[in-house]
Amino acid sequence: MPASTDQAIDYLPYKMRVEKITEETPDVTTLKLLFDDHQQAEKFTFKAGQFGLYSVFGYGEATFCIASSPTRKGYIECSVKRAGRVTQALHSLLEGDTIGFRGPYGNCFPVDEMKGRNILFVGGGIGLAPVRSVIWNCLDRRDEFGDITICYGARTVDDLVYKEELKEWEGRDDINTIFTVDPGGETPDWSGKVGFVPTVLGEAKISSDNAVCILCGPPIMIKFTLPVLVDTHGFAKENVITTLENRMKCGVGKCGRCNVGNKYVCKDGPVFTCAEIEEMPPEY
């Protein structure tokens, strides 16, 4: 049993204000949120990979990772794909509106253990959100890490999130980037690759030496990417780190919704190595 947090939970969120809304794609929006209370803002810390429950009052709560980097203080960002009741309500917010946030919850990516190692980031679709938090975390401490490669794919050019940042990363000479869209999703001026993430990754020159991979995306992408990483590029499953997205309500190990076997994804996760996931019953 991991050490107890030993804090009280009353499910009362922080009051946050929507500072900025960025429409990333037709169905993904990034919200930049500021704490209403300055003291709360100062005390608040989190780690890359952690998540929270964001609420639109009257509609309910929904779970999203914190998509901004812990190195950028004073605000948090989340990127929300329109899916159902709460996400739709989040998409109808205006700048200045109030929302609730409770968190940060869950474990985190082992950023400190990644020091001195090469990092391969692999994201698919909205799955880039949690990865982005680690990417900026590492980029803001660039000297501490070895080679950094970012491989990102989406269905179409339109569906790529964080378009400005993709450009910025592409332009930096201390990052390798591989950006791709699914066949048929390209536009005439698309300069990246065309093909599914696993295929594109399989053809790329990637070394697993002293490397870790952070892999987030839809389950189907993970399913086909993992063999490429392990068999083609020789990654040990312990060095491929991903997140699980079981449905959550409480976020704090109470409501019972997120369990995979005897693990609570909200407490023991959402970050797991692929080796750990292999040990679990296939209920994710």
Partner 1 sequence: MKEPEQKLVVPNGWLEALVRKLRVQGTRVLAPVERDGAVDFREINSADEMAANYVNTRVPLKEILFPRTETILEFDQPSGGDVVFSGVEANAAPTIVIGARPCDLSAIGVLDTVFNWDYHDTFYGQRRANTTFVGVACREADGNCFCGSVAGGAGENEGSDVFVRPTADGALLEIMTERGKKLAQSIDDAAPAAGKEEPLPVAATEERFDVEKIKGWLDDHFDDDFWLDVSLKCLGCGACSYLCPTCHCFDIVDESDWRGGERRRNWDCCSFALFTLHTSGHNPRPDQQSRCRNRLMHKFKYFVERFGRRACVGCGRCIRVCGAGQNIVNVLIDITRAEAATSGSA
Partner 2 sequence: MQELTAQLREKAKELLDAKTVDLVIGYGPTGDNGEMTAVFARKPEDVEKLGLNGQCFRNLAVYLNKPEVRKQGKPAIVVKGCDRRALNVLIRERRLAREDLHIIGVNCDGVGEPLMGKCKFCSVHNPEECDDVLGDQIEMPAEDGQFDDVGEMEQLSGDERWKFWSEKLGECIRCYACRQVCPMCYCKRCVVEKNIPQWVETSPHLRGNLSWNVIRAFHLTGRCIGCGECERVCPMAIPIGLINKKLTKLVKEEFQFAAGMTDDEKGPFSTFDLDIDTDKGIL
User: Which residues contact partner 2 by CB under 8 A?
Assistant: 84-85, 88
Inter-residue contact 102 to 51 (CB < 8 Å): no
Q: Smallest distance, Å, CB 138 to partner 1?
A: 29
Alpha-carbon span 30 to 155, nearest angstrom: 18
Q: Which is nearer to partner 1, 211 or 252 (CB)?
A: 252
Tokens linked to 155: 């269905």
Alpha-carbon span 68 to 31, nearest angstrom: 10
CA-closest candidate to residue 64, choices 180, 274, 261, 216: 216
Q: Which is nearer to ligand FAD, 206 or 216 (CB)?
A: 216
Inter-residue contact 197 to 213 (CB < 8 Å): no
Enumerate residues 256-275 that contact ligand FES by CB under 6 A. 256-258, 264, 266
According to the binding rule CB under 8 A, does residue 1 interact with partner 1? yes
Tokens linked to 239: 């060095």
Interacting residue with partner 1 among 43, 45, 58, 189 (CB under 8 A): 58
According to the binding rule CB under 8 A, does residue 252 interact with partner 1? yes
Alpha-carbon span 119 to 105, nearest angstrom: 24
Alpha-carbon span 72 to 56, nearest angstrom: 24
Enumerate residues 219-248 that contact ligand FES by CB under 6 A. 248
According to the binding rule CB under 6 A, does residue 60 interact with ligand FES? no
Q: Smallest distance, Å, CB 137 to ligand FES?
A: 24
Interacting residue with ligand FAD among 30, 87, 118, 242 (CB under 6 A): 87
Residues contributing to the site for ligand FAD (CB under 6 A): 51, 62-65, 67, 79-81, 83-87, 126, 129, 245-248, 270
